[in-house]
Chain A
């Protein structure tokens, strides 16, 4: 199948994006989830929450449009990127990763935030009284208690990146092995009236996404011993 590179590229993009999002997301979601008495922090938090949720409501084209401008060599980010790597951000895999990070951010942050806010202050205090320092509390209490939430954050980030189209179209174009992901390939097939190819690729995406989501919900429904 001639679309295999597109499938691999899509998986690579989804995997890279969700992995980076896990690293950025955990501290950010923790900060968003924990209560505070500081009103300045609460106001800042509301603003950050709104920014994180923005990709949920904006058309991907708006996001793509601004990113394209930002990636342009006339701009600070685009210019420095070229200086650093020698290649342009627009219409590149790295550009796609940056776009996907923003686009999929809310899908990773929201389940994390929910799972983190379910961890009580008391359980952290108890672990402190039991001799755990800050890092040990993260490893031995916070991560195990939020395991299911973290798994669903990763899966949703992954699945959502798989289905990305608008942003990619704006900032990535259709360069094989660089930016031609599955959704773009399907669009291209339809444009050129290759319906059979479009069918095959769409079916692959449907089956894969369905399997992923089923696995995710199964792990959620099967967990025992938690209340």
Chain B
């Protein structure tokens, strides 16, 4: 059997920070590193690339069957031989080279894979920028060029450090879609870091939640994000992720009618192409609970769900896990509502949320 795993066992002592990671995760998926700034995401990424060796106390990094480093046996594969396409947070384009030469920089002996080059230009939507110098580009354009360069170079793995943080909200969905498509099309594993939950909800298949240099949760994204007992889901900015199919776009009101598990949903104002699948992202604190189906209200979405688990997470809040057919939804409500409604596990209730609180991202 082919071993398609990334195995990372690291102990790195920085000045006042210990990075202690012991993780095995699949190498054929999009792995998302989540954590607040200073949690160690970038430091872990730099270790995967083979930088900052002087801080290592113990290290073993294995990619599939190839050992990238093993300190105890003094094995080390140089960064330049790991076949990683890397996009750092600071992008770092070469100021003296055109966009074209930046992207093709890794080509050996002037042999250029023209087909790959054209496809990354097209994917990143930068065909008309190829002759410009980095100093003539906007921040978002630089980011897209940096991504194109990483894509062009990646043989084994694509590593992206906060790839979307510098990209405007308008361009974000497009780039996120692109990353997902690349991961599928090229069978290219991706490791990316982000402190933004919306990005993880859309992209991440395997989540590594890092806090203070330690991996707090690791596993399938949808399992972790709907497990109300862990502190990834318990954060106030936790979000839900629902897959739905576009049924109709109401041009009178500019609202999308969608369907998820035979239930009608309403979302946003952007036109979603009919019959296409989208990901609906709704914040857990935007979801309310009703005992009856909601009518005569401005709230458009009302899903029949079953309360499967509830937990008191603070002096005034409860967190609920709700089963929606096959999927799960999480919601925050006040302790007052929890007791006023006499909620108990197993109860059939309705999860309601406004159509304007839904962020649709096409799949």
Q: Judging by beta carbons under 8 Å apart, are A127 and B105 in contact?
A: yes
**Interchain CA distance A126-B135 in the complex, whole Å:** 18
**Interchain CA distance A128-B84 in the complex, whole Å:** 10
| A184-226 near B? 1/0 per residue, CB < 8 Å | 0000000000000000000000000000000000000000011
Given contacts A120-B92, A129-B80, A227 and B49 within 8 Å (CB-CB): no
**Interchain CA distance A37-B148 in the complex, whole Å:** 34
**Size class of the contact patch on chain A:** 20 to 34
| A32-48 near B? 1/0 per residue, CB < 8 Å | 00000100000000000
Q: Judging by beta carbons under 8 Å apart, are A145 and B80 in contact?
A: no
| CB-based nearest B residue for A140 | B105
Whether A144 is near chain B, meaning CB under 8 Å from some CB there, is yes
Cβ 8 A contact of A132, one of B51, B80, B95: B80
| B74-92 near A? 1/0 per residue, CB < 8 Å | 0000111110111010101
| CB-based nearest A residue for B52 | A125
**Size class of the contact patch on chain B:** 20 to 34
**Interchain CA distance A130-B79 in the complex, whole Å:** 9
| A126-146 near B? 1/0 per residue, CB < 8 Å | 111111110000001100110
**Interchain CA distance A145-B149 in the complex, whole Å:** 19
Q: Judging by beta carbons under 8 Å apart, are B92 and A133 in contact?
A: no
Cβ 8 A contact of A122, one of B92, B96, B136: B92
Cβ 8 A contact of A123, one of B49, B81, B94: B94
Q: For A227, what are the chain B residues with a Cβ–Cβ distance below 8 Å?
A: 95, 135
**Interchain CA distance A129-B150 in the complex, whole Å:** 9
**Interchain CA distance A129-B136 in the complex, whole Å:** 24
Q: Judging by beta carbons under 8 Å apart, are A128 and B88 in contact?
A: no
| Chain B residues close to A by CB (< 8 Å) | 49, 51, 54, 78-82, 84-86, 88, 90, 92, 94-96, 105-106, 108, 133, 135-136, 149, 153
| Chain A residues close to B by CB (< 8 Å) | 37, 120, 122-123, 125-133, 140-141, 144-145, 225-227
Given contacts A131-B108, A131-B153, A145-B95, 8 further A-B contacts (CB under 8 A): A126-B92, A130-B105, A130-B106, A131-B80, A140-B105, A225-B95, A225-B133, A227-B95
